[in-house]
Amino acid sequence: MPTFLPLRFFGKTPLRVTPLCIGCAPLGSMPEAFAYDVAEEQALATLRACFQSPINLLDTAASYGDGESERRIGLVLRELGGVPSGFLVATKADRDIKTGDFSGDQIQRSVERSLKLLAVDKIPILYLHDPEHAPFEDIMAPGGPTEVLLKFKEQGVIGHVGVAGGPIELMMRYVQTGAFEAVITHNRFTLLNRCAEPLLDLASKMGIAVLNAAPYGSGILAKGPDAYPRYAYQAAESATVERVRKMDAACKRHQIPLAAAALQFSTHDPRVTSTIVGLSRVERLAETIELAHTPIPNELWPQLDAIGHSLDDPEANRWK
């Protein structure tokens, strides 16, 4: 496994992060999203390996397994005596998954629970998660979720505040407020779906860190269309499955894993600060770093682009 990854500035902040980020959603054991369970000991072993790896950024959320991902991270951090030097653990504040409450009070409870579960007294990067589940005006209102997070930042409990969500036009609206220092987009900047392009352009222009999550579209671009015919945690459209088959064939002609092309499509884009890749097994850590270092011939990219744009893109329309 390569032992070096370059560091990049995290937007305008003083933080520096690796171009790969470990996504910890699978480690919360979320079969409803990923179609598989992750046993606790497997998750803990994976986390121990992550904190010995060259990847210095981990990403989780209060809602992943309703706190289970954070709890498991916290168990390992207690073993280690805290977050190891040079590493950053980021999380996200969530609405109440059971009641839908997305008030400022709920966001305060979410942050306080995250601090306890992660066994930390400060969180270097904390995102407002999935704001599409409440009106923009409520999220930005006095005493609302955004103001609560910014107060935590003033108190030094949060280092930097970001926003993480789905619909691209809405994410751009939040970025334009100037309240956030980072933005996460997921499943919308992949070999199959480019609809996040305007968001990447805007954030890059404003000097805001961009985290691109799910470069494999939740798995189809890593495992292949036959082993995992799902995109963005749901059954993929038939046209999408066919496009992946064509991409896989093009990669095989160049003796390149499809997963390497899918990953580097994101990591090589200068607008993307770090690419979030979900991990659930120890061996996937080394595999991911190898995929990021796999040489890819320049002539493969236009071939993949042609396949990506040769059909109507149902996924782009479905996930805007």
Name all domains of the chain by residue range, CATH numbers in brackets.
Answer: 8-236+259-296 (3.20.20.100)
- Please determine, for residue 3, whether its predicted confidence score (pLDDT) is greater than 90: no
Distance (Å, rounded) from C-alpha 42 to C-alpha 36? 13
- Please determine, for residue 35, whether its predicted confidence score (pLDDT) is greater than 80: no
Torsion, Cα 228 304 274 255, to 10 degrees, reads 70
Where do the H-state alpha helices sit in the chain? 31-34, 40-50, 68-80, 104-118, 136-139, 145-154, 168-176, 197-206, 220-223, 238-253, 258-267, 282-293, 300-308, 314-318
Each residue's pLDDT tens digit, 105-119 = 999 999 999 999 999
- Please determine, for residue 249, whether its predicted confidence score (pLDDT) is greater than 60: yes
- Please determine, for residue 1, whether its predicted confidence score (pLDDT) is greater than 70: no
- Please determine, for residue 34, whether its predicted confidence score (pLDDT) is greater than 80: no
pLDDT at 31: 66
Average pLDDT, the chain: 94
Residue 221 pLDDT level (bands cut at 50, 70, 90): very high
pLDDT at 305: 94
Q: Looking at per-residue confidence, does 37 or 3 come out higher?
A: 37
Q: Please report where in the chains the tokens 């100037």 appear, as a residue.
A: 178
pLDDT at 64: 96
- Please determine, for residue 134, whether its predicted confidence score (pLDDT) is greater than 50: yes
Would you say the pTM of this structure is higher than 0.85?
Answer: yes
Residue 13, amino acid: T
Q: Looking at per-residue confidence, does 85 or 3 come out higher?
A: 85
Each residue's pLDDT tens digit, 169-187 = 999 999 999 999 999 999 9
- Please determine, for residue 310, whether its predicted confidence score (pLDDT) is greater than 90: no
Each residue's pLDDT tens digit, 259-306 = 999 999 999 999 999 999 999 999 999 999 999 999 999 999 999 999
